[in-house]
Amino acid sequence: MIRATHPSRKRDSTIPLINVVFLMLIFFLIAGTVAPPIDPDLELVDTSELEGREPPDALVLNREGALSFRGVPTDPETYMASHDTGPVRIVPDRDASGPRLMEVTGALRRLGAPSVFLVTEQALE
């Protein structure tokens, strides 16, 4: 009686994968320690009590979606007609609609703004 021989399957080794993951772990551990930590005795300036104010050359998008420039209501077309060809800055309200913000930035880009920057609040923690 002749037995049917099944070709033996070669199993994939996971050793190379483990080696790559280990090397990545070592890399990120070393890369994470390149920058020295902030001095623990350092006390940062507290600006939480200061009144915030938008930059004078920035568009302001309020929570209702209306634009203003230096306190005067405007729209992207009017603003770009009287603005130079430099970058445009927008200060959006925290509660402004995301789709409205995208609509305004898209309109500014179509009207010739080389770049549109969003001015936001930054916290260091």
- Give tens-digit pLDDT for 44-57: 656 566 555 556 67
Cα–chain center distance at 88: 17
65 is a domain residue: yes
Residue 41 lies in a domain: no
Residue 38 lies in a domain: no
Asked if residue 46 is part of any domain, the answer here is no
Domain that holds residue 64: 58-118
pLDDT band at 107 (very low <50, low <70, confident <90, very high): very high
Which is more confidently placed, 124 or 41?
A: 41
Q: What is the 3-state secondary structure (H, E, C) of 4-68?
A: CCCCCCCCCCCHHHHHHHHHHHHHHHHHHCCCCCCCCCCCCCCCCCCCCCCCCCEEEECCCCCEE
Tally of domains in the chain = 1
Q: What global pTM score does this model have? A: 0.54
In a domain, 71, yes or no: yes
Is a pLDDT exceeding 50 seen at residue 98? yes
Q: Where residue 19 falls among pLDDT bands split at 50, 70, 90?
A: very high
Give the per-residue pLDDT at 24: 94
- Asked if residue 25 belongs to a domain, the reply is no
Residues present in the chain in total: 125
Q: What are the structure tokens assigned to 96, written together?
A: 């402004």
- The answer to the question of residue 36 being in a domain is no
